[in-house]
Amino acid sequence: MTKTLTFAALHFTVAFSVAYLLTGSLLIGGLMALIEPAINTVVFFFHEKAWVRYERNKTADGAEAAPANTVKVAHAGCLHGRLFEKLSAKA
């Protein structure tokens, strides 16, 4: 969990810094630091759903399937990966 929190802090810091440097506005920087990661989380959720469908179709065509835990391992340390795991567990 510590790795997830430090990654989230870095993500927010980078988003804020870039927006602030481009605009000179603390408000815009703050909004970007909150909005961009939230949008990324939603996009990531749908990307993973599409990827699972792609992998399933690839397997149906006779190609070798990726290991079942690929998504979990690849994204275990990042905030949107944790959120995806929680959302997909409910679905």
Q: What is the pLDDT of residue 7?
A: 83
> Distance (Å, rounded) from C-alpha 85 to C-alpha 63?
26
CA 89 to the chain's CA centroid: 16
Q: What is the pTM of this model?
A: 0.51
Number of domains in the chain: 1
Q: What is the pLDDT of residue 35?
A: 92
DSSP 78: S
> Distance (Å, rounded) from C-alpha 38 to C-alpha 8?
11
Is the predicted pLDDT of residue 26 greater than 80, yes or no?
yes
Q: Which domain holds residue 77?
A: 2-90
Q: What is the pLDDT of residue 60?
A: 77
Mean pLDDT, the chain, whole residue set: 79
In this structure, are residues 80 and 44 in contact, taking their beta carbons and an 8 Å threshold? yes
Is the predicted pLDDT of residue 51 greater than 60, yes or no?
yes
pLDDT digits (tens, 9 = 90+) for 63-73: 555 555 555 55
Q: What is the pLDDT of residue 44?
A: 87
